[in-house]
Amino acid sequence: MIAEATDLDGNHVIMRRGYYDAVTRQGFGWDKAYWRHGVVNPNVFKDLISHSQPISNTGGTLVYEVPINRVRCTSGLFGLISCDDTGESLTMRIVANTNASPEIPGGGQKGLITMYPIAGGSGVVEIEPTWTWTPPWVNNNVPIN
């Protein structure tokens, strides 16, 4: 297990290592978020889940759409931090399954299936119509909320 978080509705969600096969474009978990969508900081998962609620819960499959605004922070007088909104924003979609799974040793939850930015956000690269890449500012600015 790479990370875990509890959302605002009390759903406990985990992120397993999982796998990603670039040829078949199949997988789940950290490897899929990392290799397919460029999420290189596991704290993004923890921060977004812990500050949001799912927009749907269909049979234990939770879908989150979490808006993120980019801010730039500087340290000022006496070490006080001042943050300004840059006007850049995007929405991250997270899909997780909290049901017990026969694919998982011991029958635990599969957890994170995928996590990616929705096309059209600031800095989001749309590689193909159903394939987006996370801009560096998302990975570098955790906590986000």
93 phi/psi in degrees, rounded to 5:
-105, 135
CB 48 within 8 A of CB 66: yes
- Convert the pLDDT of each residue in 96-114 to its tens digit: 999 988 888 888 899 999 9
- Convert the pLDDT of each residue in 51-73 to its tens digit: 999 999 999 999 999 999 998 88
Query: Structurally, how many domains does the chain consist of?
Result: 1
Whether pLDDT at 145 is above 60: no
Round to whole Å and give the CA distance between 35 and 24. Answer: 13
The answer to whether position 45 is within a domain reads yes
- Convert the pLDDT of each residue in 2-61 to its tens digit: 999 999 999 999 999 999 999 999 999 999 999 999 999 999 999 999 999 999 999 999
The answer to whether position 145 is within a domain reads no
- Convert the pLDDT of each residue in 66-92 to its tens digit: 999 998 888 888 889 888 889 999 999
pTM score above 0.75: yes
The answer to whether position 20 is within a domain reads yes
Q: Give the structural domain span for 28.
A: 3-140
